[in-house]
Each structure stands twice: as structure tokens, then as C-alpha cells.
């Protein structure tokens, strides 16, 4: 019977402890199952911003309807 190869968490090995803990917190916050998936999504967010990552139900909303400031209608 052959001995099973020891499992190595490549994400944890490649990142420093502070970064890995931050990734795990971000993974839990976003409901992602795997650290590698969370890392890929975090990199995508960093490189391409939030526009490509918004849920579909938020993409067809217009910001023109929002009113900012203290302007009083005449």
C-alpha cells in the first residue's frame, strides 16, 4: 500500500501570514468556499475594479435619480 502524499495548502505557503488571514476574512465575508477562489476574485477585483463584479440587479440602476447636497427647490 502506497503512502498518500501530504496535502500542501499552496495559497497559505505562498502568502505571508497577515495577507493569508486577510484573505480568509475576505473569503468568509463574501461566502466563498475556497482560498484559491477567494484569491482569484480578490485579484480580479483589484485589477478590474467593482464594475465587472456588481450583481446583475444593480447594473441597470441609474445614479441620476439620486440627489446629493442641501439644494432647496425654487
Angstrom distances, CA of residue 9 to CA of 13, 15, 35, 44, 72: 6, 10, 9, 21, 59
| pLDDT band at residue 9 using 50, 70 and 90 as cut-offs | confident
Nearest residue to 20 via CA among 10, 30, 7: 10
Residues 6+ apart with CB under 8 A from 33: none
Confidence band of 6 (pLDDT split at 50, 70, 90): confident
pLDDT per residue as tens digits for the range 29-48: 989 999 999 999 898 888 77
The pTM score is 0.58
Alpha carbon separation from 12 to 24, 50, 60 (Å, rounded): 10, 26, 38
Amino acid at each position: 500500500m502506497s503512502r498518500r502524499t501530504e496535502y500542501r495548502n499552496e495559497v497559505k505557503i505562498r502568502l505571508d501570514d497577515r495577507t493569508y488571514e486577510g484573505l480568509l476574512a475576505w473569503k468568509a465575508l463574501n461566502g466563498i468556499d475556497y482560498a484559491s477562489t477567494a484569491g482569484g476574485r480578490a485579484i480580479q477585483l483589484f485589477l478590474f475594479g467593482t464594475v465587472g463584479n456588481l450583481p446583475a440587479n444593480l447594473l441597470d440602476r441609474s445614479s441620476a435619480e439620486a440627489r446629493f447636497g442641501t439644494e432647496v427647490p425654487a
